[in-house]
A and B are shown apart, each in its own frame.
Chain A
Amino acid sequence: MTEKFVTAQSIDAVSCPLCNLLVSNSYRRTKSNHCPRCDGELSSRKKNSLNRTWALLITASILYVPANIYPILTLVSFGKSTTNTIVGGVLELMDAGQWTIAAIVFIASVLVPIFKIVALFFLVISVQFNFKWQPKRRAVLYRFTEFIGRWSMIDIFMISILIALVKLQAIATVEAGAGAIAFAAVVIITMFAAMTFDPRLIWDKLGEKV
């Protein structure tokens, strides 16, 4: 680390999480732990960031299992019910020759959640165990994780639309399966996990050693 940056911490101050006002630590100690400008609670880093991220990541990992085992939707058509899991749906699309849609579903519903969980695990572990490896790249990874998070919701959106639209009773009905709930939970929880992770921690640990 040849370059030297000025951070709030390095000048013994705290950036208000809400309005980004720099407040000195002495103010916090003597006066109040609340921002003098916006009265928000002051905190140098996101509270319990690592713990929360860990917890949410583990939750997401657990839920990822039923999300893939249980069917995400049941299509009842002419009295014949067809249930599909995520992977099953992808395979069926491939069988039907719908390669583009299969690819989209596969990327959005399988690759993205797995990538997110793995990436976040990597980030959390790297911070927990003070990895020194490529902080900038890890920052890129974090930004990318946050960015793609929302896209794995397309499955859920699609199912929601289908359920709302396809209500033809005997002819065709679509019902959400237990997998859909689990999957939605996985997506949302990983989004929360990404949010609770404080990327500044990547450099904090580096700074301590440097």
Chain B
Amino acid sequence: MSEESNLDVPQAKIRRGYGSLLSIWLVPIIALAVAAFLIVKTVVEQGTEITVIFENAEGMTPGKTNLKFKDVNIGLLKRIDILDDEKGVSVVIDINREADKYLTDTARFWVVSPSIGLQGITGLETILSGSFIEIDPGKGGERKKEFEGLATPPVITSNDKGTEYVLSTKSLGNIGRGTPVVYKGLRVGTVLGYRLAKDNQSIDVYTFVKAPFDALVLEGTNFWNAGGVNISVSTSGIEVGAESLQSLLTGAVEFDTQSIYKSTWKAESGHKFKLYKNLKAKEDAKYTEKADYVLYFAGSVSGLAVGAPVEFRGIRIGTVKEITLEIDEENKKYHIPVLIEIEPQRITLTDAGKRLLSVVEAGNLRKKIIENLIMRGLKGKLKSANFLTGQLIVDLVLAPETKAVFLATSDRYPEIPTVPADIEKITTSVAQLVEKFSKLPIEELGRKLTDTVGGIDKFINSGELQATISEYRKLAVAVRKVAESVDEKTLPQIGMTLDETQNAIKKIDATLVSAEKMFSSANSLIADGSPFKYDLTVMLQELSAASRAVRGLAEFLERNPSALISGKR
């Protein structure tokens, strides 16, 4: 067997074997090639591994959480480690090769999860799919592999074109991340965030204004907080102001440029602006020059508040800044120094030729203008600005005829002398009027009237009158009877009848007498020329005249409330 097979079978096997050997060994070679291809592909596709540090790993699952850019998967979370200092977690993400170019130092990472925020509900899709990490590649820069993740999604991404500004404010109010920036009610930007300024005294609010609206932000632009409801009770009444419903809920920053600043340059990115508390504060802020004066009021200043306007002939030129109480124990004198702030820029100055003065000239002159006015008899007095709320303002009047009394105990501020307020005069006359009213014997008059009416009533309803009338009727019947039966009836009958008649007549007489008494007394009460009637008439006339006068006064005051102070002109 062995010889034969050695001779024959192996030959055949070898000849045929090469083909089948090759073909069978092709299988593992192909398998190896496929495996190698898979491995190479995996290695090639692996891309870069980056580390992002987050505060926590909320919603992240290794191997499942994706990294997305514009909702396209560009990577997969591989591993989550807790930092050595336990201050956060480092997340290792495998980034696809093609997304390699996004890994620069301007790239930002944040976790997208469902949230209800100022701009509505976002990340709703992640309820089903789970959170994912989003990347904003930024504008490019140095390559980097370690990043710090944002705790909250950025308000703007690098796709949004616009300019960033810094607003400085004393109080943040209701401004927060995502607060809209509006221009004439149109939403043009967003508040990115805020930070306590380096001096710890103010807050820097980082604001983004989208292009092309950022062209509207000039160096002279004013920003103010337009959010929420502004309820201000001032001398001009109660003012309630609100922007859109959204700004009511979330607050808003509004900006505008005054016409005089329209020619200033467009503000650079990062330009620092002042953020005014509200529109009013922004309006008031036009006047940069300020001069303080002190006024000493002798009477009560109840109703005068800090912030109340200071007016000159009805034009606001300043604000009440401070109200204090000074007691001079030695002389037993009480003073109320009221510190006011006058903004001279509110006054336009002209020279004799009615020509507007130049800015410099006016500036120099303004410094002296109040002093000059004081010399010419400028006096301060309290004036009621609103009859209802009882608020007072400081009114500056020219009253050279009143002697100026200077009471200042220190010369820290220049003093404006004061005169007593008109309000005191009015209060006095009103009091007098009330007194007159109260002097009228209204009660007594009323009582008398009631008595009289009661007497009349009593008389009418009393049985006597009724009885008298019925007696008369009986008499009449009897007389007719007598007349009818006089010829047929006997004399004694007549005699009886006469007696009866006599009796009746007597009775009538008595009744008539009493009735006459009654009427005459009633008459005396209401007769022309009777003292009572005269009294009544005079009183009614007085009453109606008084009410007419009061009505007239009320109507006039309604139309001209200022008349209470300034009098009827």
B24–A51 CB distance below 8 A = yes
Chain B proximity of A91: nearest CB distance (Å): 13
Binds B, one of A63-71, A122-130, A144-152, A155-163: A63-71
Tell me the minimal C-beta distance from B129 to chain A in angstroms. Answer: 3
**Chain A facing B: main interface SS:** helix
User: Of residues 1 to 48 in B, which have CB atoms within 8 Å of A's CB atoms?
Assistant: 1, 4-5, 8-9, 16-17, 20-21, 24-25, 27-28, 30-32, 34-35, 38-39
- Complex Cα distance A194/B475, Å? 158
Do residues B8 and A29 form an inter-chain contact, with CB atoms below 8 A? Answer: yes
Partner of B38, one of A70, A82, A185: A70
B34 surroundings in chain A (CB, below 8 A): 63, 66
Asked if A55 and B64 make an inter-chain contact with CB atoms under 8 angstroms apart, the answer reads: no
Q: Is chain B's binding surface mostly helix, strand, loop or mixed? A: helix
Which of A29, A63, A81, A83 is within 8 Å of B4, CB to CB?
A29
A203 to chain B, nearest CB (A): 15
Using CB atoms, name the residue of chain B closest to A9.
Answer: B1
* A52 to B25 alpha-carbon distance, docked (Å): 7
Q: Please, how many angstroms separate the alpha-carbon atoms of A63 and B9 in the complex?
A: 35
A59 with B63: CB separation less than 8 A: no
| Nearest CB in chain A: distance from B133 CB, A | 14
Size bracket, chain A contacts: 20 to 34
- Decide yes or no whether A12 CB sits under 8 A from chain B: yes
A178 at the interface (CB under 8 A from B): yes
Asked if B1 and A55 sit within 8 Å, CB to CB, the answer is: no
Residues A48 and B28 in contact, CB atoms below 8 Å apart: no
Q: Is the CB of A79 within 8 A of B24?
A: no
Contact A62 B4 (CB under 8 A): no
* Pairwise interchain contact B4-A80, C-beta atoms closer than 8 A: no
CB-contact partner of B64 in A29, A47, A62, A81, under 8 A:
A81
Residues of A near B16 (CB, < 8 A) are 47
**Contact across chains for A55 and B28 when beta carbons are under 8 A apart:** yes
Given A25-B4, A79-B125, A80-B64; A63-B25 close (CB under 8 Å): no
Chain A residues 1-45 with CB under 8 Å of chain B are 9, 12, 25, 29, 44
- Measured CB to CB, the closest approach of chain A to B289, in angstroms, equals 64
Partner of B21, one of A44, A48, A63: A48
Is residue B483 contacting chain A, with contact meaning CB distance below 8 A?
no
Chain B residue, CB-CB nearest to A185: B31
B130 at the interface (CB under 8 A from A): yes
Contact (Cβ within 8 A) A65 B24: no
Does any Cβ of A come within 8 Å of B128's Cβ?
Answer: yes
Partner of A55 from the list B4, B24, B125 (CB cut-off 8 Å) is B24
Q: Is there contact, CB below 8 Å, between B35 and A62?
A: yes
A29, A58, A70: which contacts B28 (Cβ < 8 A)?
A: A58
Partner of A63, one of B8, B31, B125, B128: B31
Chain B nearest CB from A210 CB (Å) reads 14
* B4–A52 CB distance below 8 A: no
Give the contacting residue for A47; candidates B20, B32, B39, B130; CB below 8 A: B20
Is A56 engaged at the interface, CB distance under 8 Å to the other chain?
Answer: yes
Question: In the assembled complex, which residues on chain A have CB atoms less than 8 Å from the CB atom of B21?
Answer: 48, 51
- B contact residues around A48 at 8 Å (CB): 17, 20-21, 24
Q: Which residues A83-97 have CB closer than 8 A to chain B?
A: 83
In the complex, chain A residues whose CB is within 8 Å of the CB of B35:
62-63, 65-66
In the assembled complex, the CB of B21 is this many whole angstroms from the nearest CB of chain A, namely: 6
Chain A 176-204 interface mask (CB, 8 Å, partner B; 1/0): 00100000010001000000000000000
Asked, given contacts A48-B20, A66-B35, whether A80 binds B128 with beta carbons under 8 Å apart, the answer is yes
Cα distance A14–B178 in the bound complex, in angstroms: 90
Contacts of B25 in A (CB 8 A): 51, 55
Q: Nearest-CB distance from B365 to chain A (Å)?
A: 74
Q: A29-B8, A55-B27, A80-B64 are in contact. Are A178 and B38 (CB under 8 A)?
A: yes
Q: Does A78 contact B (CB under 8 A)?
A: yes
Taken together as a complex, chains A and B put the C-alpha atoms of A34 and B244 apart, in Å, by: 98
- Chain B residues, CB < 8 A from A82: 64
With contacts A25-B1, A59-B27, A59-B31 known, is A66 near B38, CB below 8 A? yes
Is the beta-carbon distance between B129 and A80 smaller than 8 angstroms? yes
Give bound CA distance, A52 to B17, whole Å.
Answer: 11
Q: Say how far B68's CB is from chain A's closest CB, in angstroms.
A: 12
Residues of chain B with a CB closer than 8 A to A51's CB: 17, 20-21, 24-25
| Chain A neighbourhood of B38, CB < 8 A | 66, 70, 178
C-alpha gap A79/B125 in the complex (Å): 9
Contact code string B118-134 (vs A, CB < 8 Å = 1, else 0): 00000001001110000
| Bound form: Cα–Cα A18–B63 in Å | 53
A63 to B16, CA, bound (A): 28
Contact A78 B17 (CB under 8 A): no
Judging by beta carbons under 8 Å apart, are A80 and B8 in contact? no
How far is it, in angstroms, between the C-alpha of A66 and the C-alpha of B36 when the chains are bound? 10
CB nearest neighbor in B for A60: B31
In the complex, what distance in Å separates the CA atom of A79 from the CA atom of B254? 41
Inter-chain contacts of A44 with B (CB < 8 A): 9
Question: How far is it, in angstroms, between the C-alpha of A141 and the C-alpha of B278 when the chains are bound?
Answer: 91
A6 vs B335: C-alpha distance when bound (angstroms):
140
Q: Which residues of A are found within 8 Å of B128, using beta-carbon distances? A: 78-80
- How far is A25 from B12 in the complex, measured between Cα atoms in Å? 14
Give the Cβ gap from B4 to chain A, nearest Cβ, in Å.
7
B245 to chain A, nearest CB (A): 34
A62 touches B32 (CB 8 A): yes
B31 x A62 contact (CB < 8 A)? yes
**Contact A56 B27, beta carbon cutoff 8 Å:** yes
In the assembly, what is the distance between CA of A59 and CA of B29, in Å? 8
A131–chain B nearest beta-carbon distance, Å:
21
- In the assembled complex, the Cα of A178 lies from the Cα of B34 at a distance in Å of 11
Closest residue of B by beta carbon distance from A76: B129
Q: How far is the CA of A55 from the CA of B24 in the complex (A)?
A: 6
Q: Are A78 and B129 in contact (CB-based, < 8 A)?
A: yes
A70 to B41, CA, bound (A): 12
Give bound CA distance, A70 to B21, whole Å: 31
B63 touches A83 (CB 8 A): yes
Interface of chain B residues 34 through 70 with chain A (CB within 8 A): 34-35, 38-39, 63-64
The chain B residues found within 8 Å of chain A, CB to CB, are 1, 4-5, 8-9, 16-17, 20-21, 24-25, 27-28, 30-32, 34-35, 38-39, 63-64, 125, 128-130
The 5 A-B residue pairs whose C-beta atoms are closest, nearest first, are A79-B129, A78-B128, A59-B28, A59-B31, A58-B28
25 inter-chain pairs at a CB distance below 8 angstroms, sorted by A residue, are A9-B1, A12-B1, A25-B4, A25-B5, A29-B8, A47-B16, A48-B17, A51-B17, A51-B20, A51-B21, A52-B20, A56-B27, A56-B28, A58-B28, A58-B31, A59-B27, A59-B28, A63-B31, A65-B35, A70-B38, A78-B128, A78-B129, A79-B129, A80-B128, A81-B64
- Given contacts A25-B4, A58-B28, A189-B31, could you give 17 more A-B pairs where the C-beta distance is less than 8 Å? A29-B8, A47-B20, A48-B20, A51-B25, A55-B24, A55-B27, A55-B28, A56-B24, A62-B32, A63-B34, A63-B35, A66-B38, A79-B128, A79-B129, A80-B128, A81-B64, A185-B31
